[in-house]
């Protein structure tokens, strides 16, 4: 067996309503002051209110930074960091989707009193040094799995994203409270759910670091996500489906944190960068086409996933036939979730596809994990198929 390392968050608490006990949890950790990082949508909904009240009841000094934008730009991180430093907080809580959790990771690192690095210093693999402040992550989407990953993604220019990757970003506590996700709107539930499924599929077929623990996590993630995503979208208050989605997205996060994602994400990022398409939807738009491209390298692995994702189907035939059928079923699922399926529906000019292909090739950190080598002509052909 190929040697491997598997890392994940130290402590995971999965309990409906647990966010309203955040104050007690922080007290047990000996924390006296925290910065809660969230976004304006969550603030307007008041989703963080129960957590704030419990922190106040526990006599913990709380500052809230509530201006995280989706696909957070560097300016948001600098803003939140300034607040963390001026308020001299001891710990950071990320409360929201991947955007808020990613900002929280970086702020916890750069706000540490002994930190000497700047934001630019930490981009890339294991560039971050030293220590971070205590970090608690509370996902409200299901999701990026950011609560169990070593990655934080930042929008660095008008259209480009960069990742900082370090074990320091694994939080002390990840809190899964499905009650927070009950009001997640259908399009966000669908897109973030597909993002989580992509994490699991790409982890399972990843070329370099595929390992038995990630495989286990990816399969369980896909079992939970595929069998609950329709219910979560169409019957949003069905708590058991929401809990399964949150758990599934965390398993998928654990899988890809240790067996990284590949070409689906590489081709999705330029869509988010240039056209502000949400991360999950960008993935969904290219997923079937990248899978078709990968078929010749991954048919056996896709065929293993098919009955896990669609247990009601009677899969017969060769691995290639089963995998081809799986891709068709995934396309039908995306349509049933009422997500757009064509790049042309996203107001992307066809003449822009070559620029997207050029940008996708910059994602070398991701492309190196793809089971089949992909060049710029392949990327263009995939975008054309998705158009």
Ligand X SMILES: NC(=O)c1ccc[n+]([C@@H]2O[C@H](COP(=O)([O-])OP(=O)(O)OC[C@H]3O[C@@H](n4cnc5c(N)ncnc54)[C@H](O)[C@@H]3O)[C@@H](O)[C@H]2O)c1
Binding footprint of Fe ion on the chain (CB under 5 A): 195
DSSP string, 73-96: BHHHHHHHHHHHHHTT-SEEEEEE
Q: Which is nearer to ligand X, 268 or 330 (CB)?
A: 268
Residue from 168, 180, 281, 308 in contact with ligand X (CB under 6 A)? 180
Instruction: Please report which helix (H) or strand (E) contains residue 319, including its range.
Output: helix 319-336
> In a 3-state reduction of DSSP, which class is residue 33?
strand
Residue from 8, 54, 100, 363 in contact with ligand X (CB under 6 A)? 100
192 binds, among Fe ion, ligand X, none (CB under 5 to 8 A by kind): ligand X
54 DSSP 8-state letter = H
141 binds, among Fe ion, ligand X, none (CB under 5 to 8 A by kind): ligand X
Minimum CB separation from ligand X for residue 284, in Å?
12
Q: Which residue is nearest to Fe ion (CB)?
A: 195
User: Is the Cβ–Cβ distance between 70 and 39 less than 8 Å?
Assistant: yes
Distance CA 252, CA 217 (A): 6
Residue from 8, 9, 54, 140 in contact with ligand X (CB under 6 A)? 140
C-alpha pair distances (Å), 304 with each of 215, 320, 329: 11, 11, 15
Minimum CB separation from Fe ion for residue 386, in Å?
17
Question: Phi-psi region for residue 123, left (φ > 0), alpha (ψ -120 to 50) or beta?
Answer: beta
Minimum CB separation from Fe ion for residue 163, in Å?
11
Q: Which is nearer to ligand X, 271 or 322 (CB)?
A: 271
179 lines the binding site for ligand X (CB under 6 A): no
Instruction: Please report which helix (H) or strand (E) contains residue 145, including its range.
Output: none
Q: Which is nearer to Fe ion, 19 or 263 (CB)?
A: 263
Q: Which is nearer to Fe ion, 23 or 193 (CB)?
A: 193
39 binds, among ligand X, Fe ion, none (CB under 5 to 8 A by kind): ligand X
Q: Which is nearer to Fe ion, 192 or 324 (CB)?
A: 192
Q: Which is nearer to ligand X, 186 or 385 (CB)?
A: 186
Distance CA 208, CA 59 (A): 48
Q: What are phi and psi of 89, to 5 degrees?
A: -75, 160
Residue 175 forms beta bridges with which residues?
13
Minimum CB separation from ligand X for residue 132, in Å?
15
User: Is the Cβ–Cβ distance between 380 and 354 less than 8 Å?
Assistant: yes
According to CB under 6 A, which residues from 22 to 81 bind ligand X? 39, 41-42, 45, 47, 70-71
Q: Which is nearer to ligand X, 9 or 54 (CB)?
A: 9
> Which residue in this structure is represented by tokens 């927070």?
180
54 binds, among Fe ion, ligand X, none (CB under 5 to 8 A by kind): none
Structure tokens at 117: 């690095």
153 lines the binding site for ligand X (CB under 6 A): yes
Chain-centre distance for alpha carbon 221? 13
Instruction: Please report which helix (H) or strand (E) contains residue 65, including its range.
Output: strand 61-65
According to CB under 6 A, which residues from 262 to 281 bind ligand X? 279-280
Residues that bind ligand X (CB under 6 A): 39, 41-42, 45, 47, 70-71, 96-100, 102, 140-141, 143-146, 149, 151-153, 180-181, 183-185, 188, 192, 279-280
């Amino acid at each position: 067996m190929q040697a491997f390392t598997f890392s994940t968050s130290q402590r995971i608490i999965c309990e409906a309503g647990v966010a309203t006990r955040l104050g007690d949890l922080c007290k047990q950790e000996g924390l006296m002051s925290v910065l809660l990082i969230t976004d304006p949508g969550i603030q307007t909904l008041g989703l963080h209110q129960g957590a704030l009240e419990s922190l106040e009841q526990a006599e913990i000094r709380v500052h809230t930074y509530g201006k995280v934008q989706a696909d957070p730009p560097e300016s948001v991180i600098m803003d939140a960091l300034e607040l963390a430093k001026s308020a001299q907080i001891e710990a950071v809580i990320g409360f929201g989707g991947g955007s808020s959790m990613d900002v929280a990771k970086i702020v916890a690192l750069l706000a540490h009193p002994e930190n000497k690095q700047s934001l630019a210093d930490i981009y890339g693999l294991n560039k971050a040094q030293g220590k971070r402040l205590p970090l608690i992550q509370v996902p409200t989407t299901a999701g990026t799995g950011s609560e169990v990953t070593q990655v934080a993604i930042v929008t660095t220019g008008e259209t480009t994203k960069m990742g900082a990757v370090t074990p320091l970003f694994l939080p002390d506590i990840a809190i899964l409270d499905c009650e927070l996700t009950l009001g997640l709107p259908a399009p966000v539930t669908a897109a973030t759910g597909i993002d989580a499924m992509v994490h699991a599929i790409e982890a399972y077929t990843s070329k370099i670091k595929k390992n038995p623990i990630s495989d286990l996590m990816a399969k369980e993630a896909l079992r939970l996500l595929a069998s609950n995503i329709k219910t979560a979208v169409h019957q949003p208050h069905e708590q058991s489906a929401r809990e399964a989605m949150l758990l599934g997205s965390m398993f998928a996060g654990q899988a890809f944190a240790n067996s990284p994602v590949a070409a689906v994400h590489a081709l999705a990022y330029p869509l988010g960068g240039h056209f502000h398409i949400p991360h999950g939807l960008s993935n969904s738009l290219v997923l079937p086409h990248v899978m078709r491209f990968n078929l010749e390298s991954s048919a056996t692995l896709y065929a293993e996933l098919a009955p896990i994702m669609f247990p009601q189907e009677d899969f017969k035939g060769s691995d290639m036939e089963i995998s081809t059928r799986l891709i068709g079923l995934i396309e039908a699922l995306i349509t049933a979730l009422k997500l757009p399926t064509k790049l042309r529906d996203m107001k992307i000019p066809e003449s822009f596809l070559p620029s997207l292909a050029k940008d996708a090739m910059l994602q070398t950190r991701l492309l190196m994990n793809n089971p089949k080598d992909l060049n710029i002509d392949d990327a263009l052909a995939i975008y054309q198929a998705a158009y």
